[in-house]
Amino acid sequence: MVARPRITHVIYDLDGLLLDTESINEAVNRAIADRYGCAYDPAVRGRIAGRDAHTSSAILVEWLGLPISPEEMLQQRRSLVAQWQPVAKPMPGAVELTHHLHRSGVPQAIATSSSRGPFGWKAAPHRDWFRLFHCTVLSDDPGVRQAKPAPDLFREAARRLGADPRHCLVFEDAPAGIEAARAAGMSVIAIPDPALARSSVAQADAILPSLQAFEPADWGLPARVPAAVC
């Protein structure tokens, strides 16, 4: 068995990984399709997972046969997302794991395909929690020329963390993000959307059902402390 690299830093995707935004995004896309009398095809979810807003809007317009431009789709999605995203809740195990690693002195970062505006809406209800992260890299940051599946977001996160990419562990839920992490030379654990085929995340070093199932000690990170029994 190939030995795992020593992990010193951890990087997370945001949508569908730390925050449960994918169900909201799905509802937004369905609402816009309904607005134009177009049938919504759930299969498109796998095509847009992990993509930046511009790319995913173009895919949605073509896939669903919408009578609007990708730019119009983008604006309509942003309008609805701004109304609905503040209700996004943490994914199972996300708060517990990130607090554990923070207490253990493990530097953590977020690398997301979200741009500054949408990220602000999503993060606003979670400001205290998001202070645990050393940095957040967004798709429209100056150091990011290409969004996922290009490795730019993860490379920029490693640069800001002062970390060797070989010693970074990424958590991702989408094929594009997994491809990006691998291209950046990092280890990656997939926690995929149940709607995605398992084969679509086969590039990952490991596949888990949730962050709750992750055992830090398996990757050389400080072990979780068992809850006290009263």
Phi, psi of 40 (to 5 degrees): -90, 130
Tell me which of 75-84, 148-157, 160-169 is least confident.
75-84
Residues taking part in catalysis? 13, 15
Q: Is 127 helix (H, G, I), strand (E, B) or coil?
A: helix
User: Same CATH topology for 9-20+88-219 and 22-87?
Assistant: no
Give the pLDDT confidence score for residue 172 in this predicted structure: 98
**DSSP state at residue 90:** B
CA distances from 3 to 12, 190, 199, 204 (A): 23, 19, 24, 15
By DSSP bridging, strand 108-111 and strand 135-137 are: parallel
CATH class of the domain comprising 22-87: mainly alpha
Tally Cβ neighbours within 10 Å of residue 159: 13
**DSSP state at residue 89:** P
- What is the residue-averaged pLDDT of the chain? 92
Give the pLDDT confidence score for residue 86 in this predicted structure: 66
Task: Locate the domains of the chain by residue range.
Answer: 9-20+88-219, 22-87
> Which amino acid, 178?
I
> Which amino acid, 160?
R
pLDDT digits (tens, 9 = 90+) for 191-226: 998 878 888 899 999 999 999 999 999 999 999 987
Give the pLDDT confidence score for residue 229 in this predicted structure: 46
Listed residue (109, 112, 116) closest to 133, CA to CA: 109
pTM for the predicted model, two decimal places = 0.85
CATH class of the domain comprising 9-20+88-219: alpha beta
